[in-house]
Structure 1
Amino acid sequence: MMDLYQEAVHYLESQHVPVETETDVLEEDVFHEEAVSCLLSPLQVESIDLPDTPTSCSPEEMLEKRLVVLKGILESEELYLRELEALLMPMKALWASAGTSQPVLSSQQVQIVFYQVPELRDMHQTFYSSLKTRLSGHCQTDPGPGEERQMKHTGHELMVGDLFLKMVNQIGLYGGFIENYEKAVEVVRMCTQSEPRFRTLAESMMFNNGADKARTKYTFEALLYKPLDRVTKTTLVLRDLLKTTPEEHGDYATLQEALRLSRSFLSGVNESSQCKREVMLSHGMRRKLMRDGFVVDVSEGERSLRHLFLYTDLLLCTRVKQATRGKQDQYRFCWYLPLAALKVRWVADQEKSDHTHLRLHALRTKMFILRQQLQQQAKGARGLYLSRSRKKLEQMELMLLTLSPVYRLELHSLSGKSHTLLFTSLYELEEWREAIHQLTTENIETVPPDLLTLTSACVKLRMTQQPPLQSSNIGESLCGTLSVAIHSACELQQPSCVYVCVEVDGYQFYDTQAQTHSSVHTLNPHWDQELSFQVDGAQNLRVLCVGQSDGQDDTVLGKSTLTLESKSLTQRWRRQTLQLGQVKVTLSLKYNPHPSEAPSCTAQQRPVFCVHIETVSQQEGVLVPHVVRCCVQEVERRGMDEVGIYRISGTASEISTLKAAFNTNLREAVTRLRSAEVNAVSGVLKLYFRELPRPLIPTELFQSLATALDIPDIKSRSVSLLSLLQSCPAANRHTFLYILHHLQRVSKKEDINKMSLMNLATVFGPSLIRPPVAGLGHNGPSVDISQEVVVQVQVVFWYLQCNNLPEAQISVAHDTDTDTDDETTHM
């Protein structure tokens, strides 16, 4: 007797359905969302954020939109019918084999698997044919000259409400399918595991994916889920169609009734399927909510505040519909992504446009003024006024939450579906990334969600009730200036370029985040960089250590949170070490309380070139300016073997670009420095010293240095020159010592780079030491111009030859609280 399995395969092939024998995991599986997105294409959930703001348009514009919606519905119906046909394709062969001695499925199992599917196909086929006929009659020809009025009239005459009402009156068929769905899936899974013939069949379903005749591969279970997914969209279809139908249109009342019936049916389904909220996954685990919170979702360039829910097997993005008083909030479905094979990456901070900066500044200023008014009028104002003002402040905060985020979390599913989320806080983004990564590393099997039930359950399951509005926070907080000096890090697992990101909370009137520049590639990075925050309502400090690798994404190496208590912070620096995972970061804090001030427009970094070194030192909180240290570190990283380093000039345009970057954005400058020509880096360093308004060695010491060089006794000469160096201001002295030690290290590779101590003294002498300018009232005899260059070079050459130069101190002392030892905070 002929093998019944082969008969089934032959039947499928006769219907032009290829059957493949491999049993590998299929690319198009039960979690594929492309079809879902196609179903939703004409029915997009509103992108308007909280609260709703109704749009207004003319009846003619509404009718045009209505026609677009109807065409989209027709396209999605056509796709859905192809999916149902693909699902029903093997039914005849399976019924035929059920009556034999070797059935693939028993007749009872066939009935369970295909229960109500033929009826659903017939119902939608009738609806599709009728809708297509009416739309075809309406859109046969484009309007010619003089026909515009007739087309508008035809738009009013196009009646489809009765078709939708007829379909909704038969929607009860879905009730039977939904009740039977879990049994059908159980049969499919059981037979897929136990029956090889059915497994080959179940994993080789195909359907025609459109006019291009491309075929898409699905599992049996994936197609079986399609009706369940489709019925949850019925209300959305009718709601969108009703929104584009003028109230005076003949369809309006009919569509309203269809929408009421649809909602009533889905409400009944929801009540009868409460048990589905805890869906059993593979490995005996139930679907649970692991984390939720408010994020900014980016779609087609538009930002919207969304409530994101992370379950054990999927991410669900919803839109909150805030209810009126006495009623419950509602959640509307936006999108979901299964965690199986989900790829996650985050992108470092993105620069805001000037327009966005101005908009944020205006918003922050309005918030600040409104809050000041609330505080002043809190005692005398009426309750209604205060309530309205607080509500207005909350709405401004919501807008700020939507506009200000700059960190991108990109999500890419196996099916090619992608979404982008934005965060203001890198710390919060990393928490989401860690939570998703922990779940995706496990053996995940996603059960297709009942989106209606799952979305409705969000009201009860949510852990985060409201967006993170600072205006609702109560408790002790800081108001004033918080300074954070980042010193160094240690215990890295491997050499890296590392930077530290610091975040504070509180009202968003001021910038709440700052970062150090990136260190050189090392195991023990040092920054000694001071970050300053204007705070109002700050309670927590968050610190993250981030590693950078060439050609790879940044990686958060560790993070920690520190509670800010005014009683433990003073106007004197307090030094401590934070344990950030496996990395230790040493920092110092000080706090100067004062009344909050109106936010200034986003402060730009003060320039460093052509500025007195004492000023740069003071504004950076260091003794050796960052531009000097960064250039020296970069030269020592990759320029020590460069022939003629400091003698051969770099490209003028590249030096000019780096100079501009250091004057505006230190982090960007250091990033550019990493890839710049090394001679351009050395050129920037020489340019910085040349453009100092006053030389590194004060001009009033020039005559004394020249005299000291003439002292015959070597010991006396040494004492005199070192004493003159000690008389220099602190920033000048330590920067001079820092550059001298660097040049000594360069000269140790003289056999390679051809830069002797004399060569280096010749290059740097005229920049570091300058004679007094005649006529400016300097004291002492003038020096012969012919001897000036000799003195400049010989002084630097002598210091470079000195073997007992003091070490340079890079930063000011940040640990002046000598009563307290350096403490380590473990998080």
Structure 2
Amino acid sequence: MEPVSHQGMPRLSWIDTLYSNFNYGTDGYDAEGNEEHKSSREGSETMPYIDESPTMSPQLSARSQDSVDGVSPTPTEVLLPGVSSDKGLLMRKLVLSGVLASEEIYINQLEALLLPMKPLKATASTSQPVLTLQQINDIFYKIEDIYQMHKDFYDKLCPIVLQFDNKTTVGHLFQKLASQLGVYKAFVDNYKFALETAEKCSQCNVQFFKISEVRTALLYKPIDRVTRSTLVLHDLLKHTPTDHPDYPLLQDALRISQNFLSSINEDIDPRRTAVTTPKGEPRQLVKDGFLVELSENSRKLRHLFLFTDLLLCAKLKKTTVGKHQQYDCKWYIPLADLVFPSPEESEPIPQLHATPDHEIEEMKAKISVLKSEIQKERKSNKGSSRTIERLKKKMFEYESWLLLYSPTIPFRIHNKNGKSYFFLLSSDYERSEWREAIQKLQKKDLQALALSPFELQVLTASCFKLRTVHNVPIISHKDDDESPGLYGFLHVIVKSAKGFSHSSNLYCTLEVDSFGYFVSKAKTRVFRDTTEPEWNEEFEIELEGSQCLRILCYEKCYDKSKLNKDNNEIVDKIMGKGQIQLDPQVVQSKNWHDDVIEMNGIKVEFSMKFSSRDMSLKRTPSKKQTGVFGVKISVVTKRERSKVPYIVRQCIEEVEKRGIEEVGIYRISGVATDIQALKASFDASNKDILMMLSDMDINAIAGTLKLYFRELPEPLLTDRLYLAFMEGIALSDPAAKENCMMHLLRSLPDPNLMTFLFLLQHLKRVAEKEPINKMSLHNLATVFGPTLLRPSEVESKGHMNLASDIWSHDVMAQVQVLLYYLQHPPISFSELKRSTLYYSTDV
């Protein structure tokens, strides 16, 4: 095999390749300098977890041209302060030069991997083969293809970089490389099998033993390469003008790479060698993360570490400045003794004081206000770093509280020789990940164990360096230049799914991240007795700084004996789960973006597009006089000769008839296509509307009512009174607030007031069923408040300069206005009007 350099560059030896320390900044924590990176890689026997969210800039390096002639060009120019004309060109050239240097080393590593393959194949046809041909193919699967991909990439990139200028394009090369990632997927799928085959062969064949050792040490290189390529694309985009021909090509390559990483991370165990067990076997870290433990009737934030033979729960110790942080072990369970109680075996949930919803929402609002203040401080020329740090510290406190008190999904584990441990999670996806990771390890032949105090101390001390999750998942820990996420509405059409082995009753749920944790936002209908469900359901999901969409596919269980005592809900089986990064450049297009998520052999097809918050607030003056949507409420009631619009009365009647006990009524999104069908029928005064309502999913009917109020040309509580409502709710004196808030209701036009009071009584009846439907008065105020009372388009421009202002002071006040009336004793239209005699109607 020819060396990579056409200009005489010597190929690295086996030892040079194995211990080469070229670093493109993705190896994670490095408290003690570069030596830790080297030692963490030596002897690694399993594939490292792939970091999908690079936060470090690559440390570009290449060998000096003084040592070897003709290696990849590395710019020697230094970007001087104040010189900005050629900064972008220099930075792109610097990044690309680092890519070439890195590619040389990587290609030599692949050559080193392939060196023994030819002699092994030559002996395969002899009477004394070292390995069979099948074993050789299994161990060296796809390495030749990967080598050729990068050899071609290097050969084409090298001459371009040598003559690099502003007109030079390289995006097509990166796009082509990204489009070939299917080869890497095949490599990943075969990875564990290749390792097992190599290990078995090395045990029974001394000749292959040394080859196996080197093979194992290098096998992670192709996987690590994808992450590093993603880092390069981030940096190239950062320094490429948006109008440059490379920009859309690099964006596409980055999107493909990120989606690839998301898809394969589902199948990769982030194991790192930790310490040696008493039997001399390596104990490796498989998974770790922050969870909320319910201990002694209070919530505690813990860091959970899953090793190959035990589960360890730890707490980060408080340390003084300058000292290394350490973990304190709270408890551990050998995996041989760990069991998951079945629903019928579960003990009742420990007594827990549930955090009221309004406290959660108020904390979100406070965090958003602080985010706005920090951004304003940064933009201000007089912005004080001390002020920003003070605001960040306060935001960290609020976010930590939210992370601790928002999770509600139970996750119980039990030591069959001792006690049970109870966790609360925010996501069923996360619960499933932990359960699956533990159960996968338990399929192996695990032995009971007991750690001595010294062994436990050593293992706990290793956790700090071994951890893969370094920070609590909150906004405060993000770098200033990291994406703040998306704020607005994500429209998702869940189309269909394939790959099920048997007919089942199937449905999907959608989760998005919000304020550092994931929440379930939508659920499809159940498609009965099928292997290929076709839902074709559209949902509108509100995003609050979201960066990721998760889809979970379930098999519906109708067996009431399988009731989970932790939350009194029937346990449905997760058939598959997957996630995708919400790339703003992709989803913010006006067109629908089609995509597929693969999960455990199942493929779910969906489409999505995004609309910003300010776009959703835009209202156009009503020009139509027919129909009901987008028509002034006074016009509709006059035409119908009614006090409350027909659509409002019929939707509320149907909800109270069969949906008042529906969990998440008005919060769970209805199917968008069903909502549009109901909208069209109401607009056309369809005679079959009552029949449609009786057959339609109740969440679609609730969604139709919300859509009606949202599309009014003027909000129900009117533009004219908006500022007065904001001022009234802010009054401190209860008597003054009472007078003002009642006076504002009297100031509404009669159709608006009648409709508002009608809706108010309905929402109170819904809240009476809160123990069943989980919808409190505050939940309902959160759903309807910003719809019934929102600023005019002119006023909203002044409030929506920052995307994160979605939970600004105004939005919180809109919720508080509706909550005030919901908590108020019954309000009578006739009594309000009678009081008009004693009050002026001028506002």
> Which range, TM-score by smaller chain?
0.3 to 0.5
Instruction: Give TM-score, length-normalised by structure 1.
Output: 0.39
Instruction: Give TM-score, length-normalised by structure 2.
Output: 0.38
